[in-house]
Copies of this chain bind each other. A is one copy, B any other.
């Protein structure tokens, strides 16, 4: 039994190594540089090993996305619980979200830009993704305003922040005034 257990442990460890290496490589050189050959070389195994852990490259991206979602949820909760007063909380939430996206661009891409083969907005959505949305909802639900469904409000707020992230990072918006934009967004959207 213990032999099998050791093998399972080693397999799990290698799987973590694959995901971590993919993420590292993506953050360093972009997702285009994350080829199965390069990834295999970095983990010091041959290509087919990757396919014994994941169905394909998509699934590796998906694994990075899930890891990122868990981290983001934790970061958002940490930020909101450290702030008191709805307004401070919402501002902290938005800033933390943008900050996470800026510091982990490749992970953010894996979550929302690339196809990681993940299901969203269904009952079979992976837990970390639902939890990240829940983290948003916990904070934003209390400032939705009367007669506005908290979920709907959260979706709209999320979309707005997400739009800021993607347009800024793609060079579509000048990067300087992000702070002002967030301020305006919170001011107008949240009913405080």
Chain A contacts to B: CB under 8 angstroms: 112-113, 119-121, 148, 152-153, 155-156, 158-164, 166-167, 170-174, 177, 180-181, 184-185, 188-189
A115 to chain B, nearest CB (A): 8
**What residues on B are CB-neighbors of A180 within 8 Å?**
152
**A156 surroundings in chain B (CB, below 8 A):** 160, 164, 181, 184-185
CB-CB < 8 A to A148: which residues of B?
A: 184
When distances are taken between beta carbons in the complex, the residues of chain B under 8 Å from A163 are 158-164, 166
26 pairs of residues in contact across A and B, judged by CB atoms under 8 Å: A112-B167, A112-B170, A112-B172, A120-B170, A120-B171, A120-B172, A121-B173, A152-B180, A152-B181, A152-B184, A155-B173, A155-B181, A156-B160, A156-B181, A156-B184, A156-B185, A158-B167, A159-B163, A159-B181, A160-B163, A160-B185, A162-B163, A162-B166, A166-B166, A188-B189, A189-B189
Which residues of B sit under 8 angstroms from A153, Cβ to Cβ?
184
Considering the complex, give the chain B residue whose CB is closest to the CB of A177. Answer: B152
Q: Give how many copies assemble into the complex.
A: 2
Give the distance in Å from the alpha carbon of A159 to the alpha carbon of B113 in the complex. 15
The interface residues of chain B lying within 8 Å CB-to-CB of A170 are: 112, 120
- Measured between beta carbons, the chain B residues less than 8 angstroms from A159 are 160, 163-164, 167, 173, 181
State in angstroms the CA–CA spacing of A162 and B167 once bound together: 8
A120 to chain B, nearest CB (A): 5
CA distance A21 to B113 in the complex (A): 26
Give Cα A113–Cα B173 distance, bound, in whole angstroms: 14
Q: Look across to chain B and name the residue whose beta carbon is closest to the beta carbon of A167.
A: B159
Give the contacting residue for A121; candidates B160, B172, B184; CB below 8 A.
Answer: B172
What 15 additional pairs, Cβ within 8 angstroms, besides A155-B167, A160-B163? A113-B113, A119-B171, A120-B170, A120-B171, A121-B171, A148-B184, A153-B184, A155-B177, A155-B181, A156-B184, A159-B160, A159-B167, A160-B160, A162-B167, A163-B166
